[in-house]
A and B are shown apart, each in its own frame.
Chain A
Amino acid sequence: NAGVTQTPKFRVLKTGQSMTLLCAQDMNHEYMYWYRQDPGMGLRLIHYSVGEGTTAKGEVPDGYNVSRLKKQNFLLGLESAAPSQTSVYFCASRSGGPTEAFFGQGTRLTVV
């Protein structure tokens, strides 16, 4: 049982480059989330999805786009990376109701 899998685990980008982070879950969860974690700031919600084909903005959505074309996948895109987007990115998923979220292992992204 893989749970929540993030790809890639590490990446270095140059300023202005684009990339897509993939989150895949095999638990048939409705809800999926992308967070970024920065020192001293906890986890901040970037975008989330309450079901296939739906997305919504979180606290810090600027500079990111997302898509949920398939229920099991949630993609996070950076169109033009900036050094301020250097962070550790976590994906999470959960089923409906009062259930906890399960997290992926994280993607450490460095933008130089």
Chain B
Amino acid sequence: ELKVEQNPLFLSMQEGKNYTIYCNYSTTSDRLYWYRQDPGKSLESLFVLLSNGAVKQEGRLMASLDTKARLSTLHITAAVHDLSATYFCAVAVNFGNEKLTFGTGTRLTIIP
């Protein structure tokens, strides 16, 4: 059974600092997704990573995928308060098996 682990689970960081959230998964995957969730809200898609070495960037967020290590990272550069949210990674295994398995999430708090 696919397991998806994120760390850290909680992250409190100062504005202007850099940090990385890690997502490890247990079996070979076709696709990895990153989502953002604000408190009391739904999930919003951030990135879709499809191949080994894939890197995507949007503003202060950059996601990468290493399929050999079964690891994805979400890097935050020069954090600002607006990035405070819970971030989830999700993994799909094999085209044709369309289950999406989510990690437990990382609650990020940016402190002024």
Contact = CB atoms under 8 A, between A and B. Distances in A.
Interface of A: 31, 33, 35, 40-45, 48, 50, 56, 58-59, 90, 92, 94, 96-106
Say which size band chain B's interface belongs to. Answer: 20 to 34
Interface of B: 6, 9, 30-31, 33, 41-45, 48, 50, 88, 90, 95, 98-105
A58 B105 contact: no
A101 B99 CA distance: 11
Nearest to A49: B98
Contacts, number: 55
A90 B43 contact: yes
Contacts of A101: 33, 45, 90, 100
A90 B45 contact: no
A37 to B, nearest CB: 9
A26 B44 CA distance: 18
A41 B48 contact: no
